[in-house]
Amino acid sequence: MTEPASAETASVRNPSARLIDGKAFAANLTQTIAQEVRAFHDRHQVTPGLAVVLVGNDPASEVYVRNKALQTHRAGMRSFMHMLPETTSQAELLALIGRLNHDPEIHGILVQLPLPAGLDPVAITNAIHPDKDVDGLGEVNAGRLALGQPGIVPCTPLGCLMLLKSELGGLRGLHAVIIGASNLVGRPMARLLLAEGCTVTVAHIDTRDTAALARQGDILVVATGCHGLVRGDWIKPGAAVIDVGITRISLPNGKTRLVGDVAFDEAVTRAGRITPVPGGVGPMTIACLLNNTLAAARRIVGGAA
Ligand SMILES: Nc1nc2c(c(=O)[nH]1)N[C@@H](CN(C=O)c1ccc(C(=O)N[C@@H](CCC(=O)O)C(=O)O)cc1)CN2
């Protein structure tokens, strides 16, 4: 009698993973948020407002904050951009955050990272009022997530979780391996997956034999900023691979290209599902920011829809 194909043999016979289309998912989510923003406005005569603060001239950050403003408008919310010079002092930035904390037209505040050297990202993130901390990076919201309490969840891990749940359904009992332990992605991702009932392993810069750990993951989330780190043979056949890395590399023809932390051409022959770069996790980060801003406005205005 022929044995039924396991996830492993099926994936080896079918060498191309299913692409997880984060761009399409994010577009749908943004459309739903826009409808909810209209309903919220009809009920409360309030338009959710998001303040984004950029210090300095990092070209990638400039692209991200421009896209945030564009998507905020598309969702029917108000966008308040604060573009500050590289020379901005910690005291000046804290004073701005203080004003935004008290501004009734602002329901969400975000300071774009990374900040220029000399500014303390921890002190600055913690200065944002927890109810307006739509990045979920301050100690109050991070603490709530660590304790399994409701709060605002960081945008990129929230986006990864939405993609995983829509692809896999329930995650309970799966082994999730996360490579990278940053406060922005790896740590909150671990807490979210733990809350979903996954067994979670976090590999980091000092981990020995990360490849061997990665091979155990039914889910593999990679957020290291080290492009091409994860090779095809690091991936458990049939695994769901979420590539958070985005690096712009130069090509021999003088052009540039965005690539992830996963060697995509190799991974696609082993994984069951995989996010591309671009078009995978990145667009979800901005859609989840809109999601968090609407949720913050709902809480601030009175908890109603
Ligand atoms: N305060 C924060 N700073 C940073 C965060 C964050 O969540 N909060 N995340 C990243 C950058 N980021 C959002 O800020 C971000 C990165 C990438 C994308 C995105 O849509 N990427 C596209 C490609 C875009 C391009 O052409 O360059 C994709 O992957 O398809 C959105 C947001 C660090 N800082």
Instruction: Show the domains of the chain with their CATH numbers.
Output: 46-129 (3.40.50.10860), 154-282 (3.40.50.720)
Q: For residue 149, what pLDDT is reported?
A: 96
Pick from 50, 64, 81, 187 the residue to mutate for probing ligand 1's pocket: most ligand atoms within 8 Å of its CB: 64
pLDDT at 20 (0 to 100): 98
pLDDT of residue 180: 98
Expressed in angstroms and rounded, the spacing between residue 67 Cα and the centre of ligand 1 is: 9
Atom of ligand 1 nearest to the CA of 154: 7
Lining residues, ligand 1, CB within 6 Å: 63-64, 110-113, 135, 155-156, 246, 258, 277-279, 282-283, 285-286
CA distance 263 to 260: 7
- What pLDDT, on a 0 to 100 scale, did the predictor assign at position 265? 96
Interval between CA 25 and ligand 1 midpoint (Å): 16
ipTM of the complex: 0.98
Nearest residue (by CA) to ligand 1, atom 16, is 282
User: Residue positions in the annotated binding site for NADP(+)?
Assistant: 180-182, 205, 246
Q: Whose CA is nearest to atom 34 of ligand 1?
A: 113
Contact 176, 217 (CB under 8 A): yes
Q: Which residues are known binding-site members?
A: 180-182, 205, 246
Alpha carbons 155 and 135: distance in angstroms, whole number: 6
Q: Which atom of ligand 1 is nearest to the CA of 60?
A: 27
pLDDT for the residue numbered 303: 63
Answer whether 109's CB lies under 8 Å from 128's CB: yes
How many whole angstroms from 5 Cα to the centroid of ligand 1?
Answer: 39
Give the Å distance between the CA of 282 and the centre of ligand 1: 5
Active site amino acids: 68, 112, 135
pLDDT in tens, the chain (305 residues): 333 334 444 444 446 999 999 999 999 999 999 999 999 999 999 999 999 999 999 999 999 999 999 999 999 999 999 999 999 999 999 999 999 999 999 999 999 999 999 999 999 999 999 999 999 999 999 999 999 999 999 999 999 999 999 999 999 999 999 999 999 999 999 999 999 999 999 999 999 999 999 999 999 999 999 999 999 999 999 999 999 999 999 999 999 999 999 999 999 999 999 999 999 999 999 999 999 999 999 999 986 44
